[in-house]
Chains A and B, each alone.
Chain A
Amino acid sequence: MQDADTLKEYRKQCQEALDDDFLRQAMDAFAKAYRTNRVKAFAGMNEKELIAEIAAAKDVAISRLPELYEEFRFKAEQAGVHVHLARTAAEANEIICRIAKDHGCRKIVKSKSMTAEETLLNHRLEADGLEVTETDLGEWIIQLRHEGPSHMVMPAIHLSRYQVADLFTDVTRKKQDSDIEKLVKVARRELRAKYIEADMGISGANFAVVETGAIGIVTNEGNARLVTTLPRVHVALCGVDKLTPTLHDALRIIKALPRNATGQAITSYVTWITGANACATGPEGKKEYHIVFLDNGRMALAQDPDFRQILRCVRCGACANVCPVYRLVGGHRMGHIYIGAIGLLLTYFFHGRDKAKNLVQNCINCGACKEVCAAGIDLPRLIKQVHARIQNEEGHPLPSVLLGKVMSNRKLFHTLLKTAKWGQKPVKEGTTGYLRHLPMIFVREQNFRALPVVADKAFRDEWPAIRPRVDKPRFRVALFSGCVQDFVYPEQMKAGVKVMEGHGVAMDYPMGQSCCGLPLVMMGESKAARDVAEQNVKAMDAAQCDYIITLCASCASHLKHAYPKMLEDDPRLAEAAKVFSAKVIDFSSFVSDVLGLDKNDFSQHGGQGKIAYHSPCHLCRGLGVTEAPRQLLRQAGLDYVVSAEEDVCCGFGGTFSMKFPEESRELLNKKLDNVAASGAGELVTDCPGCVMQLRGGAEVRQDGLRVRHIAEALAERKK
């Protein structure tokens, strides 16, 4: 459970997690296995279509929550169920305590419910003197340890068998073996006794099906069946977002939820309970059955036109499973109660700004979560939005304000960058292109990679001299450099121009262009981000060209996907932004797919050994481009070797690496280790930000690894 007061304290806690060897090893093994299992689980299915259908159906339900609740209540009450609606977490706990009291319950068995974690139900029940036992194995383990879950589906994933054996030794007062199978059997027997004694069972619910008045519970262990069968009273606690009009909706989600959660086609058990069922120990042989629906901000969230999609979440946990930051620091650092990308969002809406303000900054914006979300939630964008909202509510930190002010004024920003060229002189290391030592504004924690110097001459200043003349152009294109290639790595732009030259491409470099604005989004400066978007849309004048080409994956994905969204409310710009967005293309796709460069365009001799490829997050997931760059490497006669986890983030994330250097360093080292293991002597990629991170890291490690933009490798081999 993450509740640090300050960002500094939060970073310290993250560092502790980074130092936990068992956690790191467990998370790594899990992350790798999950990816393979998920692919297998969805094999032969149209995964994207299924996700789109789930999203659409959820959206319909979200727009009708109050009436769905009323319809469900009517249906369920007819079948003998007592239905309650709790406005707040405290109210839900109060209702459940009252039910326990009214029916003289003393001992409670619970099956897993994230909603009960959300309301901190156990604390409240125990305060009333009730004995509560979690029966899901993982939940029982963390309950005994007085911890919160570290994963929504596998709550005890942070613990080793030895820790569990010690725990069970305490519980049984008998020495326990660390053999997992035996530990599971011990739990089976110990918990069986708890079921028998209990007079109340509390479960969660994955679905509340309106057309039948049934709840559906998805489990593997089968504990929910015992919890809902043996005790005479059953209370199901269920978020109102679980209301769904039809059984078909639920069956559809079941096709994705277990596959996405654990790579299973379906869980061992899915339990459908409609009405008060037979119960030998209940009044008149029937179960005393209550359903408590929890609002806790959901109804209001359902009214928010943008954030309402958060309520689509089916709690599969996949967004954590693929998150590179979760993989580093684990669930106790990557969520308050709800974990992973969705956890960052839900924390803000369910538990408030204070609990969320540090968490939301720990997103590297790699988009891995969005790619796998079972309900198609645009998680990374919404996380940045929440960050911006919190800053709007709390006041923006000074550096963030300054950055916003500077960057939304292109001339000022560019003047500052050019001035930096002089300012860096005392710290510049000969002609190596790196800063010798970091200026005072960078703290020592940034030392894990060398930082580049600002180039002597910006690309924009070189452009008039190098601009190729084209008589009969096949394509008219506008180049968008982004700040890094304009001011730090102009050679990458020049290489790109060289590759495209001679293929009938009339290139223009509109001088009014500025930073794409992604760093501003990362800092939560949405107003300034919107301002630069407007400047760029105007400056690039999409109507005059066939394509807008950028060699920066992050710029490309931001220009393409974020601009239309940011400018959609502005009638003067909405259409222009759409036209602009449609013309944005990344360099590799343009060269490979549009120009169709192939073997004949490149020398096929004298390759310089093995070359590895890093797939930038914003290219492979942001734009869905995976084949073009790899294809180009092969066409250019280069010996491309596949390295492990090519599409996992390099740890840059723009300002993320400044804010969370410890995590950035770990991701970088993992990436460079994977490249080293492939035996490659050179690494290329499609993004200057990744180059900055990877080259700087290789320099510090003295790996002897050459890191370049793919355009540079291609330009060198062009015939």
Chain B
Amino acid sequence: MQTTSKTMLDTFISKAELVSARVSRVKTLEEAFAYTVALCDGKEMCPLLVSGCELNLSEPSMQLCREKIGKIIAAPGLDQEQSTALRTLCADKGMELIHSGLRRHLGGLDIGFTVCDLGIAETGTLVLNSSSEEVRLATMVSETHVAVLPVSKMRGTSYEAEPELLAFMGNTPSYLAFITGASRTADIERVLALGVHGPLELHILLWEDN
């Protein structure tokens, strides 16, 4: 059992990394919070990601860029206790943590933080129940998506995940997302570019929950 799941994890990691996801391991959810806050904290000092606001934009689009002040992490879907733990870490660094009202931040967020429902090893895919509009937005308008995947939720193939996928879809209304790597396009001269609409980076934290 141990070896099977190790192979599965290795497959997942290699497939996810193939599509530019950054995969790390964490032992606890607190560790995932710390990772996220550190990542967000590092962003300004070393602005790796540029989402377009530095470029020559039309006036209305430029206006949208000006709306964002300070660093924001969106983590809808956390329970009270988890929220409090993450908020304390954010506060130490002067960051804002939000879990709702994401429509007020459509210009952009720094990080969207989610805990995923399933993983599919064969393609390095995350399955995220996105029935909550806030979850959908957090994983779309943020520059970076940090996704925690409990190792116990790893499945080998999409077929193996099928009964669980059907269960999610049966609980209507349902909005279920398969996410594999960051948002990408090759529409100009077939040159790959990340972050055309959604996150420019995807960080996956494998949470060794078992």
Contact = CB atoms under 8 A, between A and B. Distances in A.
Interface of A: 26, 29-30, 33, 78-80, 135-138, 141, 154-157, 159-161, 164, 171-176, 180-193, 195-196, 209, 211-214, 220-223, 225-226, 228-230, 247-248, 251, 254-255, 262, 264-281, 286
B195 A189 contact: no
Contact of B197 (A135, A154, A174, A175): A135
Contact of B172 (A193, A196, A247, A274): A274
A173 B59 CA distance: 9
A188 B52 contact: yes
Contacts of A156: 187-188
B55 interface: yes
B58 A173 contact: yes
B158 to A, nearest CB: 5
Interface in B89-134: 103, 106-108, 122-125, 131-133
Contacts of B131: 277-278
B58 A266 contact: no
Contacts of B175: 228-229, 271-274, 277
Given A184-B196, A247-B162, A247-B166, A221 B58 contact: no
Contact of B183 (A29, A264, A268, A286): A268
A220 B185 contact: yes
Contact of A268 (B15, B61, B103, B182): B182
A196 B173 CA distance: 23
A229 B60 CA distance: 21
Contacts of B58: 171-174, 190, 193
Nearest to A250: B158
A271 B55 CA distance: 31
Contacts of B38: none
B137 interface: yes
B195 A185 contact: yes
B106 A181 contact: no
A191 B197 CA distance: 8
B107 A192 contact: yes
Contacts of A29: 190
A267 to B, nearest CB: 7
A23 B46 CA distance: 40
B87 interface: no
Contact of B61 (A26, A193, A214, A281): A193
A79 to B, nearest CB: 4
Interface string B10-51: 000001001100000000000000000000000000000011
5 contacts: A137-B187, A154-B187, A176-B55, A182-B55, A247-B166
A276 B186 CA distance: 32
A137 B188 contact: yes
A212 to B, nearest CB: 4
Contacts of B169: 209, 212, 214, 247, 272, 274
A268 B133 contact: no
A143 to B, nearest CB: 12
A212 B166 CA distance: 8
Identify which of B57, B158, B182 gathers the most chain A CB atoms within 10 Å of its CB: B57
B56 to A, nearest CB: 4
A282 to B, nearest CB: 10
A222 B198 contact: yes
A136 B55 contact: no
B188 A183 contact: yes
Identify which of B107, B172, B177 gathers the most chain A CB atoms within 10 Å of its CB: B172
A136 B184 CA distance: 11
A195 B188 contact: no
B140 to A, nearest CB: 6
Contact of B195 (A157, A188, A191, A209): A188
Contacts of B162: 247-248, 251
Interface string B66-107: 000000000000000000000000000000000000010011
B174 to A, nearest CB: 4
A164 B103 CA distance: 31
Interface residues of B, number: 62
Identify which of A171, A211, A214, A279 gathers the most chain B CB atoms within 10 Å of its CB: A214
B140 A229 contact: yes
Identify which of B103, B108, B184 gathers the most chain A CB atoms within 10 Å of its CB: B184
Nearest to B181: A268
Interface in B154-188: 158-159, 162, 165-166, 169-170, 172-188
Given A188-B197, A226-B197, A274-B169, A174 B184 contact: no
Contacts of B141: 192
B190 A30 contact: yes
Contacts of B185: 137-138, 184, 220-221
B66 to A, nearest CB: 12
Contact of B189 (A26, A172, A220, A279): A26
B188 A269 contact: no
Contact of B56 (A172, A230, A267): A172
A160 B189 contact: yes
Nearest to A273: B175
A279 B134 CA distance: 9
A247 B64 contact: no
B136 A225 contact: yes
A161 B191 CA distance: 10
B178 A187 contact: no
A264 B123 CA distance: 9
A275 B193 contact: no
B57 A174 contact: yes
Contacts of B53: 189
Contacts of A33: 190
A221 B166 contact: no
Contacts of A211: 166
Contacts of A188: 51-52, 195-197
B151 interface: no
Contacts of A274: 169-170, 172-176
Given A192-B64, A265-B180, A268-B182, 7 more contacts: A80-B173, A189-B64, A196-B106, A225-B198, A226-B197, A271-B175, A272-B176
Identify which of A171, A192, A279 gathers the most chain B CB atoms within 10 Å of its CB: A192
A138 to B, nearest CB: 4
Contact of A220 (B61, B125, B183): B183
Contacts of B108: 192
Contacts of B193: 180-181, 184
Given A154-B190, A184-B195, A221-B197, A268 B19 contact: yes
Nearest to B64: A193
Given A212-B166, A272-B169, A189 B57 contact: yes
